[in-house]
Amino acid sequence: MTTVIDGKAVAASVIETVKSATRTLESETGVRAGLAVVIVGDDPASHAYVSSKSKMAKECGFLSIQHTLPNETSQQDLAKLVADLNADPEIHGILVQLPLPKPLQSEPIIQSVLPEKDVDGLHVVNAGKLATGDLEGGLVSCTPAGAMVFVRRTYGEDLSGLNAVVVGRSNLFGKPMSALLLAANATVTTAHSRTKDLPAVCRDADILVAAVGRPEMIKADWVKPGAMVIDVGINRVPAPERGEGKTKLVGDVAFEECAKIASVITPVPGGVGPMTIAMLMANTIIAAYRKAGRKPPK
Ligand code: NDP
């Protein structure tokens, strides 16, 4: 029997832990965790993401601040806002929604967020801590952190002896995911567009993670029987079966056929996706505990 992971349920349990940690921190220290979300421009998808992040932050009991800036915001004005949030003692986490509208440069903005408030885990200090195996001191990028929750719930903390293959090497997902699996003692291969014989590389994986952005690229004969398959891809494709002009979301994994081979698999939607916001909340409460001089909850 294949287990299909219910990402919404796992995310809900992470959120319950965050809520309880938020109450404990406030009652014991008077510190209320604060998350500031910054959005520039009017991209509807980005606005939808930001409003769910702000809403979830409120539900967790955080001080939730949203800064909505117009399309024509200058690099200097955005940098000034980040500097103000860096200096604000009530704010423990800062998230600047990406991508930024042109011609704004995202990299200088990402790197200007204080590492201890970088709840997206994108600052080079946090990426460096992860790369050097310092999992306690930094903040980890939310989507790979969420995917690791699934891995831990399936295999436990120690992945000794297991082969993991991550397809994709982005700074946002592929690289931090590989680093997390390595830190948990898996033997890790990071594959990408220049990898030779990708199906054979994938067939070696006990844990196969796909973060490519190509609809249903991973086929059943790429999957080792009994493997865990984690699908990070989010691709909108035409769905004529639902009516003219209709679309649907699919992952990077051909779900129906791969589910017959894998022992554990994540669906799209409803797998990794819901974990991203949950881990953003988890990172914010971790940042708030550290600022209060407390050990963050596990
Ligand atoms: P990027 O476009 O930054 O990276 C894609 C990676 O896939 C690259 O490393 C690229 O290789 C590799 N790749 C592309 N084509 C192939 C191929 N044919 N064979 C092997 N490797 C290939 O994407 P992201 O990492 O940001 O995102 C990947 C997917 O995950 C997207 O669908 C995105 O929407 C989704 N996503 C979902 C999130 C969520 O659930 N919340 C969060 C983040 C991402 P190379 O480096 O050689 O070009």
Check the annotation: does 170 bind a ligand: yes
Determine if the peptide bond prior to 44 is cis (ω within 30°): no
Q: Which pLDDT score, from 0 to 100, does residue 297 have?
A: 84
The single residue of 6, 8, 43, 53 carrying the catalytic annotation is 53
Say if ligand 1 is within 6 A of residue 234 CB: yes
Q: Which pLDDT score, from 0 to 100, does residue 227 have?
A: 98
The single residue of 105, 111, 117, 120 carrying the catalytic annotation is 120
Q: Which pLDDT score, from 0 to 100, does residue 5 have?
A: 98
Say if ligand 1 is within 6 A of residue 143 CB: yes
All residue ranges of the chain with pLDDT < 70 are none
Say if ligand 1 is within 6 A of residue 236 CB: no
Catalytic, 53? Answer yes
Say if ligand 1 is within 6 A of residue 198 CB: yes
Q: Whose CA is nearest to atom 1 of ligand 1?
A: 170
Q: Which pLDDT score, from 0 to 100, does residue 1 have?
A: 87
pLDDT digits (tens, 9 = 90+) for 7-30: 999 999 999 999 999 999 999 999
Catalytic, 105? Answer no
Q: Is the ipTM of this complex over 0.95?
A: yes
Catalytic, 66? Answer no
Residue 211 CA to ligand 1 centre (angstroms): 4
pLDDT digits (tens, 9 = 90+) for 36-76: 999 999 999 999 999 999 999 999 999 999 999 999 999 99
Check the annotation: does 294 bind a ligand: no
Q: Which pLDDT score, from 0 to 100, does residue 201 have?
A: 98
- The structure's pTM equals 0.96
Say if ligand 1 is within 6 A of residue 196 CB: no
- Structural domains of the chain sorted by starting position, each given as residue range(s) with its CATH number in brackets: 29-123 (3.40.50.10860), 142-272 (3.40.50.720)
Residue 173 CA to ligand 1 centre (angstroms): 8
Round the CA-based radius of gyration of the chain to a whole number and report it. 19
Say if ligand 1 is within 6 A of residue 140 CB: no
